[in-house]
Structure 1
Amino acid sequence: MDQNGTFSSLMRKTLMALTGLFLCFFLVIHLLGNLQLLLPAAQARESFNGYSQLLSGNIFIKIISYVLYASIVIHCIDALLITLKNKKVPGKYLYDQRNVTSKWYSRNMGILGTIILVFLVFHFKDFWYQYKFGSLPVDQHGQKDLYGVVIGVYGDWWYVLLYMLAMFALGFHLLHGFFSAARSLGVYHPKYVRWVRVFGIWYSYTIAIGFAIIPLYIYLSQYVLWN
């Protein structure tokens, strides 16, 4: 590979790492906000709707949301370009040649990423689009009742199951992606490798499990145990 090709490849991996880490940061904030859904129903409705109203009316949050949309698009396109480029190169990635020692999710990042992308399409349609452009009822405080939408969507067991499957894919995608980003940005130094690995594992598990328990809790508490 010539110098320009090497530089282009490094730039793509760096861009992938930066957008990925920004999305990792967003997931933490998003999870913290969604944990309000685990509160008792009356309190959860007031708290979650107020939280959604606050985000939609904050100019700083709007700017961050545009960065988020751009990061998702760039991350997906960059991943596709890297994948297509690698398929043109004779042979495979090193981790593809070490099936005995490499993790299965490291060899199937494309599949995991596709599952997450399909999930995002439905997720944006059911929540973001409904909140922005749908005719939502309002709660007793005059705020859009996004909480009611969430409860309605998570009333279908198959949707909850698909959501949890997507979070399973997200967890393993994060697990590999976090380490890859650390390598691309040059922070996966032998001196700190243990701490990077421990943090990456705990982060990935926390995000995946944290998001997965929310629809499960809502389905069980609102539609199973309640009845």
Structure 2
Amino acid sequence: MIVGFWIAVTGLGLVLFLAVHLGGVGMALLDPMGFERFATTLHQQAWLPWLEVALLAAALAHPLLSLQRARANRQARGPDPGPLRSRRQGPWEPLAALAARLIPWSGSLLLLFLAVHLAQLRWHRPVDGAELAAVLAVLQSPWCLVLYVAAGAAAGLHLLHGAESAVRRLGLLDPANAVALRLGGRGLALLLGAGFALLPLALVLRPAVPLLAGR
């Protein structure tokens, strides 16, 4: 019970960060210079390193706790439990079931992306005013672009199953609100997954004129 609670808490904390992060990076499409000012101001905050430590701890604890929970569930179900099947019907259910089966793979891809992303843009942070240029330089590599797009899709799939699982583990899911929470979680998964998958492509394809005009 405690393990499930912390899986949910760490997962929802990471989802909140992803939503804020997508909003911040999305500024690069609409207001490149505003994005640079935002990035510079953010990285000057004294609390940022503490937040980054907390996020990294959550990003590492979440899969470790999930592995522990999966091992316990497997032992409880016996040596040959057979595949789990959902009794719910609806157009989203096949995709939700696929997302549940792919949780180990989507999670592993997200961990790989996190390591690459931090090495590229955080551990060697660009100088003030060059954040977008550094992002675009990274995305010029075809394999990096593929990884960033695939990680966005993986985040969406992971959330498609994980959002509902988190609210259930926190005891927030009941018959009265199940449909609303389920649809809200899947809508959030679609928004974040599509946002992070399409944003790298949009940044690569965007014309250079807006950034030059803001200088």
Instruction: Provide TM-score, normalisation by structure 2.
Output: 0.84
1:31 matches 2:22: yes
The letter of the residue matching 1:183 is: R
Work out whether 1:81 is the aligned partner of 2:68: yes
Letter in 1 for 2:153: F
SS in 1 for 2:186: helix
Asked whether the 8 Å contact 2:149–2:197 carries over to 1, the reply is yes
Does 2:184 correspond to 1:183?
Answer: no
Match of 1:112 among 106, 113, 129: 106
Change (3 A) 1:92 1:219: farther
**Residue from 196, 207, 211 that aligns with 2:181:** 196
Per-residue Cα deviation, 1:32-60 (whole angstroms, up to 9, x for no partner):
10001212xxx51x222221221111123
One-letter identity of the residue aligned with 2:38: Y
Q: Distance in 1 between matches of 2:29 and 2:190?
A: 19
Deviation at 1:78, TM superposition (A): 0.8
Please tell me whether residue 15 in structure 1 is matched to residue 6 in structure 2.
yes
Paired residues for 1:33-182 under 5 Å: 33-39=24-30, 43-44=31-32, 46-89=33-76, 90-91=78-79, 96-98=83-85, 103-131=97-125, 136=126, 138=127, 143-182=128-167
1:7 corresponds in structure 2 to none
| Rounded Cα–Cα distance in structure 2 between residues aligned with 1:22 and 1:209 | 20
CA–CA distance in structure 2, aligned partners of residues 153 and 15 of structure 1: 34
Q: Is the Cα–Cα contact under 8 Å of residues 160 and 185 in structure 2 kept in the other structure?
A: yes
CA contact (8 A) 1:105 1:172 kept: yes
- Cα distance in 2 for partners of 1:13, 1:184 equals 6
What TM-score do you get using the length of structure 1 for normalisation?
A: 0.80
Query: Residues 133-169 of structure 1, C-alpha deviation per residue, up to 9 Å, x if partnerless?
Result: xxx4x4xxxx251211101011123322221111111
3-state DSSP of counterpart to 1:130: coil
C-alpha change, 1:92 and 1:153, in structure 2 (3 Å) is farther
Letter in 1 for 2:63: C
Distance 1:92 1:181 in 2: 26
Q: Are the structure 2 counterparts of residues 99 and 204 from structure 1 closer, same or farther at C-alpha, using a change threshold of 3 Å? A: closer
Asked if the contact 1:86/1:92 (under 8 Å) is kept, the reply is no
Determine the C-alpha separation between the residues in 2 that align with 1:113 and 1:57: 31
Q: CA deviation at 1:222?
A: 5.1
161-170 or 198-207, larger mean C-alpha shift: 161-170
Asked whether the equivalents of residues 37 and 214 of structure 1 are also in contact (C-alpha less than 8 Å), the reply is no
Of residues 220, 224, 227 in structure 1, which corresponds to 2:205?
A: 220
2:117 alignment partner AA: H
